[in-house]
Amino acid sequence: MSEEDRQEVEIAPEEEPIDLDTDATEELEVAMREALEAIESGKSAASAASRADIQLAEPEGADDVLSTLQREAEDHRDLALRSRADLENYRKRVQRERQEESRFKAFEPMRDFLTVIDNLERALVSPGSVEDLKQGVEMILRQMGNLLRDNGVERIEALGQGFDPSLHEAVSRDEDASVEVPTVSEEMQAGYTMHGRLLRPAVVKVAMPASQAGATGDDEV
């Protein structure tokens, strides 16, 4: 190798800035770890070469070039460490924000429910008649229903509907010659869905056709 070839030093281009996207944190950690390993490996190789017993004629200015490379390696290592620390702080901040959001996700609905409690308290201290109290409770019930609908909660239509085990929970059954399929004959407790997902099944009694009632056990629907 000629003296001019030994003086040529290829400097790696600067790496593109790292995008701290939440969905790419794992890939970023891997890249940072590989960068640190590459830098440490380069420093070890340079140190080993400087301690080698082979005596070569060093070109003029080689010490300055080596010092420059070592400084750049240190700068890249510091940058990698700072970037890794920034990433860790970012992840912790996102985690705290998600925990805070989870704790207070029902904040607005609960604040709306306070008006229902206010009306119930007023009804309890109202000096009106029983009929007035009943009308007040009916008003509060309508208010509660509107609030539930605003939050995606819908009541399951059960009475008179065909029995659906995914929506109804049967607690008893009776034979009924007037029905052709298992049908809800009584709703003992209302069921609800929230945004299409079952929130609570409706507790019902089921009327069974005579043929099916005789073919099933006493505790089956």
Map 56-106 to HEC letters: CCCCCCHHHHHHHHHHHHHHHHHHHHHHHHHHHHHHHHHHHHHHHHHHCCC
Task: Classify residue 2: in a domain, yes or no.
Answer: no
Number of structural domains the chain divides into: 3
**Which pLDDT tens digit goes with each residue over 122-161?**
888 888 788 888 888 899 999 999 999 999 999 999 999 9
* Same domain flag for 129 and 162: no
Which pLDDT belongs to residue 171? 95
Do 202 and 168 contact (CB within 8 A), yes or no?
yes
Instruction: Note the Cα 85 to chain centre separation in Å.
Output: 24
**Which pLDDT tens digit goes with each residue over 11-45?**
444 444 444 445 555 666 666 666 667 666 655 55
Among residues 103, 132, 165, which one ends one of the domains? Answer: 103
pTM: 0.54
Among residues 72, 103, 134, which one ends one of the domains? Answer: 103
CA distance 89 to 72: 26
Task: Classify residue 8: in a domain, yes or no.
Answer: no
Task: Classify residue 127: in a domain, yes or no.
Answer: yes
CATH number reported for the structural domain that contains residue 182 in this entry: 2.30.22.10
Task: Classify residue 3: in a domain, yes or no.
Answer: no
Task: Classify residue 171: in a domain, yes or no.
Answer: yes
* Same domain flag for 131 and 168: no
Among residues 69, 103, 137, which one ends one of the domains? Answer: 103
* Same domain flag for 90 and 163: no
Containing 2, the helix (H) or strand (E) segment is: none
* Same domain flag for 28 and 81: yes
Task: Classify residue 112: in a domain, yes or no.
Answer: yes
Which pLDDT belongs to residue 83? 87
* Same domain flag for 86 and 139: no
Task: Classify residue 9: in a domain, yes or no.
Answer: no
For residue 122, the enclosing domain spans: 106-151
Q: pLDDT tier at 46 (50, 70, 90 boundaries)? A: low
* Same domain flag for 38 and 90: yes
* Same domain flag for 94 and 114: no
User: What's the CA angle centered on 190, arms 134 and 135, to 5 degrees?
Assistant: 10
* Same domain flag for 69 and 89: yes
* Same domain flag for 73 and 126: no
Q: Which residues contact 28 (CB under 8 A, 6 or more apart)?
A: 18, 20, 87
